[in-house]
Amino acid sequence: MIRVRSGTVGVQFTILYAAVFLVSGIGLLALTYLLSGGQVSRVAQAPRSQAGPAAAQQRVQELERQLAHVHSEQNRRLRIGSLAALVLLGAISLLVGQALARRVLRPLRVITAATRRITADNLDRRLAVTGPADEVKDLADTIDDLLGRLQASFAAQRRFVANASHELRTPLATMRASLDVAVAKPAPAASTVALADRLRTQLDRVDHLLDGLLVLARAQHGALADTAAVSLANLVASAMADRAAEITAKRLSVAMDVPAAVSVQGSPTLLARLVGNLVDNAVGHNSPDGWIALSASTDDSESVLIVETGGPVFDQREVDRLAQPFERLGVERTGSSGVGLSIVSAVAAAHGGRLSLLARPSGGLRVSVRLPLAKAPVAV
């Protein structure tokens, strides 16, 4: 049984080869039929016998009928044989076409499989196709050149992130030390203390933004070297404990339904940041006397963490943009760095998961994150 995938170059090549083969076969059989399908010549009259001309004429007519019958039978057998030959040629042409298509497209399948195995973590690998200088080798060499440019770009980006983290944190630490020295002087002026407090707040925001950008860069372009089984219940409990003061200050009611058995596979540091950003977003963008609902469940090979909050009704088109860096809802441009949910999206994607944002019809947001299940259960 011939099995070929529809919509592929192999199918097109097989069909084209079979069509050309069949057209050639039909032409050859038609020519054979025309050459063998002439009218039967009438036989010459036999010499008159003693039986008389009437008997001889009857004998000639009988011979002509027999020859016509033989000719008709030959034509019928030729048609049947031609149809059988066409069917056989069709099957043979499909088999031969499929074999030729596999042979011709084998280098492309090898290139495709090798390219799929190359990721951002092993851009140093190359296809290195050997053979004659044909179109396939040109394609492989072009892909190798592209991988080389991507590797250089990724390396430059990683160097920039590492250098930026060092160069930016050093002046921040210097400014903090200068503020501490100014406030530590005997009897500092009230304006100096107030200015130092405002500057510390802004430095904290800059430090938080810098930390978020570094985590975002690591999640997007770094390797997950510290992969382990992590309990979602532990992560949620820790994140809620860290924000307990803010939750109490806003008088938020919290409902949690995170089973202890739900665990995920990934980097504990990045996953803790993911859950922390979700809780930060739920607390920071909530109204006083509001509510937060956290739940987790398993679905096939994935776990689902859902964080819902109340609030005003949002436009779904604006909500869809929140996964991009520095995007915020409405005119709210202060109080947050704008990279919280983009970090969540990047961390989820780095673990093979995904982030979904939904504007609740009654107001507020429904944020869900899908992550791969842990390979083994963990203690809570």
353 and 252 in one domain?
Answer: yes
Higher-pLDDT residue of 362, 17: 362
Q: How many residues does the chain have?
A: 380
Check pLDDT > 80 for residue 313: yes
Does some domain include residue 179?
yes
152 and 20 in one domain?
Answer: no
Strands of 302-309's sheet in order across: 253-257, 291-299, 302-309, 365-372, 354-359
Helix (H) or strand (E) holding 264, with range, is strand 263-266
Q: What is the CATH number of the domain that holds 183?
A: 1.10.287.130
198 and 310 in one domain?
Answer: no
Q: Which two tokens stand for residue 227?
A: 């992969």
Number of structural domains (the chain) is 3
276 and 194 in one domain?
Answer: no
* Range with the poorest average pLDDT among 108-122, 295-309, 318-332: 318-332
Does some domain include residue 200?
yes
Q: Span 62-75, mean pLDDT?
A: 80
Closest CA to 260 of 356, 91, 377, 95: 377
Tell me what percent of the residues of the chain surpass a pLDDT of 90: 8
348 and 254 in one domain?
Answer: yes
Domain edge (last residue) among 221, 239, 261: 221
Does some domain include residue 130?
no
Q: What is the pLDDT of residues 331-379, one digit of tens each?
A: 444 445 566 788 888 888 888 888 898 988 888 889 999 998 886 655 5
Does some domain include residue 379?
no
d(CA 308, CA 359): 10
Q: What integer pLDDT is reported at residue 46 of this predicted model? A: 47
Q: Span 97-103, mean pLDDT?
A: 78
Domain edge (last residue) among 185, 202, 221: 221
- What's the pLDDT band for 42 if we cut at 50, 70, 90? very low
- What's the pLDDT band for 307 if we cut at 50, 70, 90? very high
213 and 163 in one domain?
Answer: yes
29 and 104 in one domain?
Answer: yes
206 and 306 in one domain?
Answer: no
Which amino acid, 115? T
Number of H helices, E strands in the chain: 9, 7
Q: What integer pLDDT is reported at residue 293 of this predicted model? A: 92
Tell me what percent of the residues of the chain surpass a pLDDT of 70: 80
Q: What integer pLDDT is reported at residue 338 of this predicted model? A: 61
357 and 315 in one domain?
Answer: yes
Does some domain include residue 91?
yes
Check pLDDT > 50 for residue 12: yes
215 and 238 in one domain?
Answer: no
Instruction: State the sign of the Cα–Cα–Cα–Cα dihedral 132, 137, 138, 142.
Output: negative
Q: Span 249-263, mean pLDDT?
A: 89
Q: What is the pLDDT of residues 172-181, one digit of tens each?
A: 888 888 888 8
Q: What is the CATH number of the domain that holds 329?
A: 3.30.565.10
Q: Span 120-143, mean pLDDT?
A: 78
Q: What integer pLDDT is reported at residue 378 of this predicted model? A: 59
79 and 108 in one domain?
Answer: yes
- What's the pLDDT band for 40 if we cut at 50, 70, 90? very low
Domain edge (last residue) among 86, 116, 146: 116
Does some domain include residue 92?
yes
Average pLDDT, the chain: 78
144 and 111 in one domain?
Answer: no
Does some domain include residue 306?
yes
Q: Under 8 Å CB-to-CB from 106, ≥6 apart: which residues?
A: none
268-284 vs 232-242: helix crossing angle, rounded to 10? 50
Does some domain include residue 129?
no
What domain range includes position 251?
Answer: 228-372
Q: Which two tokens stand for residue 273?
A: 């940041």
Q: What integer pLDDT is reported at residue 16 of this predicted model? A: 78
Cβ-contact 127, 111 below 8 angstroms: yes
Q: What is the pLDDT of residues 152-165, one digit of tens each?
A: 887 787 777 767 76
* Range with the poorest average pLDDT among 47-56, 122-131, 341-350: 47-56
